[in-house]
Structure 1
Amino acid sequence: MQLLDNPIRPYAWGSPTAIPAMLGVKPTGEPQAELWMGAHPGSPSGLVGKAQTLLDLISADPEGELGSPCVREFGPRLPFLLKVLAAENPLSLQAHPDPAQAKAGFERENADGIPLSAPHRNYKDGDAKPELICALTDFEALVGFRPPAETLEVVGAFGVRELEPLLAQLREQPDEEGVRAAFTMLMTAPADRRRAVVDAVVAACAGRTEPAAGLASRLGERYPGDAGVVAALLLNHVRLAPGEALYLPAGNLHAYVHGLGVEILANSDNVLRGGLTSKHIDLPELLRILDFTPRPAEILRADDEGRYATPADEFRLSRHVVTGGTEVTLDPAGPQILLCVEGAVAARGETGKVDLTPGRSAWAGAAEGPVTLAGDGVVFRATAGIG
């Protein structure tokens, strides 16, 4: 059992106060967007009291730290990354490829000689990147294309003439192909036409009280003229309560809008963006990998054992409430990271005990055996999804 020293990523959309408040430290005044826990080569967690990182520890003994089943499935690397994500402002509209798309895209860009560090590179590795976000506070997100009938009702109420071709497409073909055609029409229109549509929508939403109007107004103020402002209105607009979660599979167009949450994802850097960003957008590739199936968003809640069920093999997330006088025993589960988000909890395994407070986390390797939690608080456990 080893306490982790975790890096913070200062992305511009991040809250300057939420993660410092969780950690009980003074804000720096700069955005502190994500607290990373894991062995990602770009920002691996350190080991408290040791001059090495979690990446070093795993690289020195993959079988011992990850366990044979994990190494057989994913190779000698930790297959997941755990984060605390603090969104003060919206993240970009984005989606991630499936395994076959990621492998083919990575090989294609390698063959084309595109450097891994190039800003226009789409595929940094050959892996898929499914994600799960679990709310710690009220959490606002956009996730997947919503049913056309809902879009027609919500967006049609704005009475924007410039949107009529898009809405007509959804009326005529209220299915996956209609959504694909409407989204493609919007995103591939000439720049001046896209700008006119966005400006008209933002103007029509001024002073309106519907959630979609408020969303468009906020996005339009931050990203003037960006077609992602209108594209966002085609997506499910979700508000999670603390403890509720969303699973984001390959091809799901999404954006986190505001709030604090625990995110777990496959250890990949493959992102294809579609708007609400100044970063590279490869629209043809995005259109190729997107899942345009319209469906309501599915909000996940923990089962009786605290687990959030997903089909991902790379990770599994569970939430455990620990109360005084009652110990919680976690069965062996391969490599795992324990993150405290509330209260004070002691975690004890075969190799020793660590004390966890909000924002603090610990690594337990595959050989750790059962882990017992005691105290008063809430702990998330991240582990691989196999077995």
Structure 2
Amino acid sequence: MYLLRTPIRDYAWGSATLLAEFQDRAPTGRPEAEMWMGAHPSAPAGAVPASDPESLPVPLDELLASDPEALLGEAARFGRLPYLVKLLAAGRPLSIQAHPTLDQAQAGFAAEEAGGVPASAPHRNYKDDNHKPEMVVALTPFAALCGFRSAVDAGTSFSRLAAVLAENPELPEDSGLSQGSGPDAGRSGPADTPARAVAGYAERLLGSGDGGDPAAEGAAIESVFCELLDPAGNWASGTWVAAVVAALAKAPRVLDEDLNLATAVGIAGHYPRDPGVLVSVLLHRLDLAPGQAIHLPAGNVHAYLYGLGVEVMAASDNVLRGGLTPKHVDIPELREVVAFESVPVPYCTPLSDGAGHLVFRPPFEEFQVERLDLPAAEGRTLTARGPVIAVCTAGRVRLSAGPDTAELAPGESVFLGADEPAATVHQAHPADQTHPTDQDEAAAGTLFAVTLP
């Protein structure tokens, strides 16, 4: 068993407080976005034998390379530790993004390697040759945009927005929102104003959804998505975006009625001129309670908005971004990987044995996620198909595997190789207490463990 020394990535969208509060430590004053527990070469965790916790950490990817058959077991078929575990702490919206399929990742990576694009280049799209299906389990209230809504639902929101624009004659003359008062005012037509553009989107989406044709619906979603994000289009300068948000801010009743439009205004507080603000209208807005989970296959457009969660994915850092970010945006490449289809929210409902043990099994071959809640799961043995990464998310948890023992507090984690004895889970209490108190019960331990399905 190895204790993990985990790097924290300080991406701009990270929360300055969520991880610090979670680990009961002082904030650093910097955004703390992701704690990485894995062997991805971008930020491998350090591994320290549990039997010698004061020794120098060895990067986990180097440790695995020293004996892949023993440490990875049947996971060696992937050629790497197949998953990456993170604690994700979003203080502001992440980029609108999607991830490639395995074939797309392999082709994109090979092309950029052949083209001599440096691995660290900010304009590089493919950091590795792997896909990145993922899931997230909320630890706090967690908000996200996830997958395209039905064309009718999205069209209805754009129709409401068009009505708001038509009812705002006092908008600034230079905003592009002035429509006149003739019979064609507010109707779709040449996209020479955002009002006309929005009305056109509403008409296009509502029309495609009426016939029950998934191909037509997907084509309408794709056209609106790509027009909004066109770097040479009318929305790119941000003037239209800012003016539309200003109009919505004057329509509180509409915002109360339409969660997606309210979400767009909220996102604009962080990215006031970004066309991704309007893209959010196309996507499901969902709010996860602690313990709820979603899974995201390749091609699913998504953006996490705020909250702390356990995120697990195939071991990849490949992200194609479309907005809400200062990082590289490549709309043509994003368009190639996005699945333009309306989908239901991909909730991942766990299986439960009723004794403090839950198993999340998304439809991916790289991982499953177990959650063990103590004291109900006291003495439970972890499922161990292949290697295991386990992280404590509440209270204190003690893991025992053969002669090795590790006691974990929130945010602390371990790696167990495939050749190690199965680990058992116990509630840990302060050394000076023999019996738990009511306060200890309130802080009962929770452990998440990731292994092969």
Letter matched to residue 226 of structure 1:
D
Q: Which runs of 5+ in 1 are unaligned?
A: none
SS of the aligned residue for 1:115 comes to coil
Residue 387 of structure 2 is aligned to residue 335 of structure 1: yes
Q: Does 338-347 or 148-157 show the bigger shift?
A: 148-157
Partner of residue 115 from structure 2, selected from 108, 112, 121: 112
Q: Following the alignment from structure 1 to structure 2, what is the Cα–Cα distance between the partners of residues 296 and 177?
A: 18
- The match for 2:335 is 287
Residue correspondence of structure 1 range 63-82 to structure 2 within 5 A: 63-67=69-73, 69-71=74-76, 73-75=77-79, 77-82=80-85
- The match for 2:225 is 183
- The match for 2:445 is 377
Residue correspondence of structure 1 range 12-23 to structure 2 within 5 A: 12-23=12-23
| 1:166–1:185 CA contact under 8 A, matched in 2 | no
SS of the aligned residue for 2:227 comes to helix
| 1:331–1:369 CA contact under 8 A, matched in 2 | no
- The match for 1:138 is 141
Letter matched to residue 350 of structure 2:
A
| 1:91–1:255 CA contact under 8 A, matched in 2 | yes
Partner of residue 269 from structure 1, selected from 307, 314, 317: 317
Q: Following the alignment from structure 1 to structure 2, what is the Cα–Cα distance between the partners of residues 57 and 111?
A: 29
Q: Does 261-270 or 203-212 show the bigger shift?
A: 203-212
Partner of residue 233 from structure 1, selected from 278, 281, 299: 281
Letter matched to residue 49 of structure 1:
E
Letter matched to residue 452 of structure 2:
A
Q: Following the alignment from structure 1 to structure 2, what is the Cα–Cα distance between the partners of residues 16 and 178?
A: 39
| 1:205–1:216 CA contact under 8 A, matched in 2 | no
Per the normalisation by structure 2, the TM-score is 0.81
Per the normalisation by structure 1, the TM-score is 0.94
Residue 199 of structure 2 is aligned to residue 164 of structure 1: yes
Q: Deviations over 1:14-38 (max 9, x none)?
A: 1111111122211111111111111
Quote the RMSD (CA, aligned, Å): 1.7
Measure how far apart 1:193 and its partner are.
Answer: 4.2
> How many residues were matched structurally?
382
- The match for 1:278 is 326
Distance 1:179 1:343, change over 3 A: same
- The match for 2:246 is 203
SS of the aligned residue for 1:213 comes to helix
Q: Which runs of 5+ in 2 are unaligned?
A: 166-194, 210-216, 428-443
Measure how far apart 1:169 and its partner are.
Answer: 1.4
| 1:302–1:319 CA contact under 8 A, matched in 2 | no
Q: Following the alignment from structure 2 to structure 1, what is the Cα–Cα distance between the partners of residues 96 and 31?
A: 20
Greater CA radius of gyration, 1 or 2? Answer: 2
Partner of residue 60 from structure 1, selected from 25, 44, 66: 66
Partner of residue 320 from structure 1, selected from 348, 367, 372: 372
Larger strand fraction of residues: 1
- The match for 2:406 is 354
Letter matched to residue 242 of structure 1:
P
| 1:83–1:263 CA contact under 8 A, matched in 2 | yes
Q: Does 97-106 or 209-218 show the bigger shift?
A: 209-218
| 2:392–2:408 CA contact under 8 A, matched in 1 | yes
Q: Deviations over 1:342-378 (max 9, x none)?
A: 1111111124111111111111111122211011411
Q: Following the alignment from structure 1 to structure 2, what is the Cα–Cα distance between the partners of residues 103 and 241?
A: 36
- The match for 1:300 is 348
SS of the aligned residue for 1:330 comes to coil
Distance 1:193 1:17, change over 3 A: closer
Q: Following the alignment from structure 1 to structure 2, what is the Cα–Cα distance between the partners of residues 185 and 42?
A: 34
Letter matched to residue 201 of structure 1:
V
Measure how far apart 1:219 and its partner are.
Answer: 1.7
Q: Deviations over 1:60-103 (max 9, x none)?
A: 11111111x111x211x211111101000001001110011111
SS of the aligned residue for 1:366 comes to coil
SS of the aligned residue for 1:157 comes to helix
